[in-house]
Amino acid sequence: MAKKSISLSKEFLKGLWDENPVLRMLLGLCPTLAVTNSAINGLAMGLATTFVLLSSSVIISLLRKVIPHQVRIAGYIVIIATFVTVADRYMAAFLPEISKALGPYVPLIVVNCVILGRQEAFASKNGVGRSIIDALGMGSGFILVLLVLGSIRELFGSATIFNLQILGDWFNPWMIMILPPGAFLTLGLLIGLGNWLNERKVKI
């Protein structure tokens, strides 16, 4: 039970860096790449994913002794899919523009491996309080990466961040950054940067 000794703040912070879902664990790459052509889309996607992660973590950690082991994955997926439907309907009703921009990637949160991974690795083994902290940490880590990636791509691809003009008229936007190849290249560089920073931290 060494795990119990980890303080709650560490539980939260590990999601931001040490076990960052995207940069360190390489989970949830599909939405990360697909919706980050602007900062606002990245943020919306991150928030929607965190909502689903948090709500399903609560339910699953409450039900962790009830769900039979053999059918747990199917059970988790049904719970996750239910919350995704809630998030999808909510966004379609109150944020129609963003919902349109994200398109089928909102329902695809169902198969986001970050969520299923956390349920399997954490919520199904820990109490509600701890699971909430873990979900919030992982969610924030996910939002952070999406926001950074979205901002970089929007900055170079359309010279703006959150639709605010950042670079002047002298800057000729790099179309490629908002197209699919830009997503792969930027994420590749970010992962490299993450590894590099991590290595330096260890050496010091």
Partner 1 sequence: MNLLLLFISAAIVNNFVLTYFLGICPFVGVSKRISSAVSMGLAVMFVMTITAAVTWLIYHLLLVPYHIEILEYVSFILVIASLVQLVEMFIKKVSKPLYDTLGIYLPLITTNCAILGLALFSVLREYSFAESMVFGVGAGAGFTLALVIMAGIREELELSNIPKPFRGAGITMIVAGSLALAFMGFAGLI
List residues binding partner 1 (CB under 8 A).
Answer: 26-27, 29-31, 33-34, 73-74, 77-78, 81-82, 84-85, 88-89, 103-104, 107-108, 110-113, 116, 176, 179-185, 187-189, 191-196, 199
- Residue 93, classed as helix, strand or coil, is helix
Closest to 137 measured CA to CA, from 37, 2, 18, 26 = 18
DSSP notation for 122-160: IITTS-HHHHHHHHHHHHHHHHHHHHHHHHHHHHHHHSE
Q: Which is nearer to partner 1, 33 or 40 (CB)?
A: 33
Q: Nearest approach, Cβ of 52 to partner 1 (angstroms)?
A: 11
Give, as one character, the DSSP assignment of residue 19.
T
Q: Nearest approach, Cβ of 54 to partner 1 (angstroms)?
A: 18
Q: Which is nearer to partner 1, 58 or 106 (CB)?
A: 106
Q: Nearest approach, Cβ of 67 to partner 1 (angstroms)?
A: 15
Q: Nearest approach, Cβ of 100 to partner 1 (angstroms)?
A: 12
Q: Which is nearer to partner 1, 16 or 108 (CB)?
A: 108
* Amino acid identity at 102: L
The backbone region for 127, taken as left when phi is positive above 0, alpha when psi lies in -120 to 50, beta otherwise, is: beta
Q: Which is nearer to partner 1, 8 or 193 (CB)?
A: 193
Are the beta carbons of 114 and 50 closer than 8 angstroms?
no
Q: Which is nearer to partner 1, 44 or 133 (CB)?
A: 44
Cα–Cα distance, 137 to 59 (Å, whole number): 17
What residues are paired with 165 via a beta bridge? 160
Are the beta carbons of 91 and 28 closer than 8 angstroms?
no
Cα–Cα distance, 194 to 137 (Å, whole number): 18
Q: Which is nearer to partner 1, 63 or 81 (CB)?
A: 81
Q: Nearest approach, Cβ of 55 to partner 1 (angstroms)?
A: 15
* Amino acid identity at 85: T
Q: Nearest approach, Cβ of 8 to partner 1 (angstroms)?
A: 29
